[in-house]
Chain A
């Protein structure tokens, strides 16, 4: 392909990526290196509100000649990153003496490790990272397996049922995440449909948001419910392309159903498995809505939620940018093995 033609094809998307991805990212990097705030000074002020009038020393925004608030900008360098990572708390946790337990007994290596782990995950960022990784690691294999099973199931039912089944399977995928999480919260709260139903089935009263374990379980279940349809639809599309010759040849060679799946269908779908894994790793790593709705960060936090909290609670764009960048860094690390594999496959394909 002549270089000009190639350029004609890729230029629009390169420009779009520069404008919509690279530029904002550069902006976030820039923001994260600074701190800024409205300059205030404590001034004796008369405040009249519906509750009464008070005169007190309050911080008042300083105004410039044009009447606009004065904004102070400070170079922070890596300080925002250190704050988000909880560098000082982390150092404290590392240096804490754990050689004897609270009762004065010498501790084992395992006890010292778990105590250290607890102290480290008590630092917000590391606690959020722990659950984010756990969530990603647990949901990924489950949705791959479930999505594949549903795809195989739908593929083998009679034609008339397929439409209905596909629609039902895709439903969680269509529901907006926050709405999905909220409605699920209302399904699992006290005396809600599912809890009452489970009680009638003899499981007793289950409180799904009572502690870290149950909350984590619920968030993971919601994640699986939400992501499985995506895997299903991609693999189902892939199943339509399995060449019938290969499948028939396998059967003629005496392969049973399991062997056909194992040696014909799965290898054929392998690139799609890699694709959905890649997409889900990125999605799972950004888990947000269920955390916001179910836990508010207690017992199960995520990096995305942490970034949101910094932005909404502290109104600090700079620190939130640093948190967002640390998250992006994490996604890159997570994806490296898969990207290397894709790159190698591509090279082999073109070699």
Chain B
């Protein structure tokens, strides 16, 4: 289809785009070999990738693969005999899965050796028992994004609760927003995540304490699905196809007045190359389910991990990782995310996450069997929103599906 030469050309164009980075602090690793890194596709990871690639010398090759299928690829890679990646960027949800499968490498010795040199802070160390398994570098959350100008025009206060939000939407619609609300309701991972936010906000538990038995088929879950159904009425009719990137675009194009979106997309709202709403979007914690309650979202954090099964120089890999999360990397990309380092200077884009953390929002469920429940709920929530199943039946089906998969993975006997 393409000749080898054309492919080579494309390759070098892509490589050139990656290498053409702004002035980046010099990386001074003297080790040799190859370090392969995989990461999720969002703005700060591109920035970190450049910091890591700056370490490449004639003797050290650094390859960074940034993809929106990183979760799937990382889980397959770490399960392989020898992982093709020495470093992976993972969210807390993926980290616990890898940990429960015994696929993560402890890096306690390396942390002790380089802690002072790279100013690693204790809150960055993901520790289980006595071993460090991950270096966390950023916090993330899905929270409220709203158009300040639109809310003022419609005479609406930024909503603190979902009932307030639902009451505000008709007014925004009357003020000219055909589809005032937006959120990633795409079938599967996205819609399951929105459900999780609302269910956690209502104080819902997914499992019986200390076991993998499901506990999510209840009135709080039905109420969460009901809220989602009511919100959907104010979303684009394409709601069930909207993934995070589509929600980002809906805001940037001025189609949405309020919505729930990842904090890691906040900076993109003020990028005048792609956004029509520069400086018009404000950020806040997600609304609570009831007045005075916790925000309906969860705190996430992202970390770098190393696989148990790898060849190559683990110290070189660790050092490349350290350059990626160094103080200099943070300083040159301060506004790109909510860095966990103490030198982080909050800005207007980090307001949503800061409010979420201050309000003691729930932590994203970190049981290794949660991803199985999450997958089953993705189908259930989609069925309810599409109107093909009543909530009670969908939840019962999800429970059945979850128990089946949890048994197969050995979490339920």
Do A and B pair up? The answer is yes
Which residue of chain A lies nearest to B138 when distances are taken between CB atoms in the complex?
Answer: A50
**Contact assessment for A314 and B129 in the assembled complex, using a CB-CB cutoff below 8 Å:** no
A50 with B211, Cβ < 8 A, contacts A38-B101, A298-B240, A298-B382 known: no
Asked if residues A40 and B411 are in contact (CB atoms below 8 Å), the reply is: yes
B378 partner residues in chain A, CB cutoff 8 A? 313
**A209 CB within 8 Å of chain B:** yes
Distance from A140 Cβ to chain B, minimum over Cβ atoms (Å): 23
Is B238's CB under 8 angstroms from A72's CB?
Answer: no
A294 CA / B240 CA spacing, docked (Å)? 9
Looking at the assembled complex, report how far the CB atom of B326 sits from the nearest CB atom of chain A, in whole angstroms. 17
**A315 near B409: Cβ-Cβ < 8 Å:** yes
Partner of B246, one of A68, A124, A189, A316: A189
B386 and A50 contact, CB distance less than 8 A = no
- Asked if A59 and B238 sit within 8 Å, CB to CB, the answer is no
Task: Please give, as numbers and ranges, the residues of chain A lying within 8 Å of B79 by CB-CB distance.
Answer: 315
Beta-carbon contacts under 8 Å, A39-89 to B: 39-40, 42, 45-52, 56-61, 63, 68-69, 72, 83
Look across to chain B and name the residue whose beta carbon is closest to the beta carbon of A68: B102
Measured between beta carbons, the chain B residues less than 8 angstroms from A107 are: none
Contacts of A58 in B (CB 8 A): 100, 367-368
**B18 close to A (CB within 8 Å):** no
Q: Given the interface contacts A40-B410, A56-B210, A295-B241, does A83 sit within 8 Å of B404 by beta carbon?
A: yes
> Do the beta carbons of A49 and B375 come within 8 Å of each other?
no
Q: In the complex, are the beta carbons of A190 and B212 less than 8 A apart?
A: no
- The answer to whether A38 and B102 have CB atoms under 8 Å apart is yes
> Is there an interface contact between B212 and A297, defined as CB atoms closer than 8 Å?
no
User: Please, what's the 1-or-0 string for A303-322, where 1 marks a CB less than 8 Å from any CB in chain B?
Assistant: 00000010111111011000
Tell whether A314 pairs with B375 under 8 Å between CB atoms, given A37-B409, A42-B211. Answer: yes
Interface string of A111-151 (1 = CB under 8 A from B): 00000000000101000000000000000000000000000
A87 CA to B179 CA in the complex, in Å? Answer: 42
| In contact, B128 and A45 (Cβ under 8 angstroms) | yes
Q: Of all chain A residues, which has the CB nearest B128?
A: A47
Contact status A209-B139, CB under 8 Å = no
CB contacts (< 8 Å) of A212 on chain B: these are 386
A190 contacts B410, CB within 8 Å? no
**Could you tell me if A209 and B102 are in contact, using CB atoms closer than 8 angstroms?**
no
* A211 on interface, CB distance cutoff 8 Å: yes
The reply to whether B408 and A50 form a contact with Cβ atoms under 8 Å apart is no
| A180 contacts partner chain B, Cβ-Cβ < 8 Å | no
Known pairs A50-B123, A58-B367; A296 contacts B382 (CB<8 A): yes
Contacts of A47 in B (CB 8 A): 127-128, 366
Decide: B100 and A60 in contact? CB cutoff 8 A. Answer: yes
Contact call B236/A190, Cβ cutoff below 8 A = yes
Q: Pick the contact of A190 from B128, B187, B238, B368 — CB < 8 Å?
A: B238
Q: Are B369 and A50 interface neighbours, CB within 8 A?
A: no
Which of A189, A309, A314 is the one whose CB lies under 8 Å from B408? A314
Question: What B residues does A215 contact at CB under 8 A?
Answer: 241
Q: How far apart are B409's CB and chain A's nearest CB, in angstroms? A: 5
Q: At the interface, yes or no: B45 with Cβ under 8 Å from chain A?
A: no
A281 CB, nearest partner CB in chain B, Å: 22
Residues on the B chain within 8 Å of A57, using CB = 209-210
Q: Complex formed: what's the CA distance from A315 to B71 in Å?
A: 11
For A210-252 the 0/1 string (1 means CB < 8 A from B) is 1110010000000000000000000000000000000000000
Q: Determine whether A174 belongs to the interface, using a CB cutoff of 8 Å to chain B.
A: yes
Determine if B372 and A59 form an interchain contact, defined as CB atoms under 8 angstroms apart: no
Tell me whether B255 is interfacial, beta carbon within 8 Å: yes
The complex places the Cα of A7 from the Cα of B45 at a distance, in Å, of 54
Q: Is the CB of B187 within 8 A of A295?
A: yes
A189-B238, A296-B188 are known contacts. Are A314 and B103 too (CB-CB below 8 A)? Answer: no
**A314 B409 Cβ-Cβ under 8 A:** yes
Residues of B within 8 Å of A52, CB to CB, are 363
- Contact of A61 with B386 at beta-carbon distance under 8 Å, contacts A208-B238, A314-B372 already known: no
Query: Are B187 and A314 touching (Cβ within 8 A)?
Result: no
Q: State the CA gap A40–B187 with chains docked (Å).
A: 31
Cα–Cα distance between A211 and B387 once the two chains are bound (Å): 10
Question: Are A46 and B128 within 8 A (Cβ)?
Answer: yes
Tell me if B14 counts as interface (CB < 8 A to partner A). no
Out of A59, A122, A294, name the residue touching B212 (CB < 8 Å): A59
A25 shortest CB reach to chain B, Å = 20
Minimum CB distance partner of A296 in chain B: B187
Is residue B379 within 8 Å, beta carbon to beta carbon, of the partner chain? yes
Bound together, the chains give a CA A66 to CA B237 distance in angstroms of 56
Interface digits, B376-405 against A, CB 8 Å rule (1 contact, 0 not)?
001100110010110000000000000011
Considering only CB atoms, which chain A residue lies closest to B362 in the complex?
A51
Determine whether the beta carbon of A59 is less than 8 Å from that of B411: yes
Q: Does A101 contact B (CB under 8 A)?
A: no
Contact indicator A296/B186 (Cβ below 8 Å): yes
Q: Could you list some 27 contacts between A and B, CB below 8 A?
A: A38-B410, A47-B366, A49-B366, A50-B124, A50-B139, A50-B340, A51-B299, A51-B301, A51-B363, A52-B363, A57-B209, A61-B101, A83-B408, A122-B388, A122-B389, A190-B250, A191-B255, A209-B241, A210-B237, A295-B241, A296-B186, A296-B187, A296-B188, A296-B190, A297-B187, A309-B188, A316-B409
Interface residues, chain A, with chain B CB atoms under 8 Å away: 35, 37-40, 42, 45-52, 56-61, 63, 68-69, 72, 83, 122, 124, 174, 185, 189-191, 207-212, 215, 294-299, 309, 311-316, 318-319
Nearest first, the 3 closest Cβ-Cβ pairs linking A and B are A69-B102, A296-B187, A61-B102
14 extra A-B contacts, CB within 8 A, seeds A50-B139, A296-B382, A318-B408: A38-B100, A59-B212, A63-B102, A83-B408, A190-B179, A191-B253, A210-B238, A295-B187, A296-B186, A297-B379, A298-B382, A313-B375, A316-B408, A316-B409
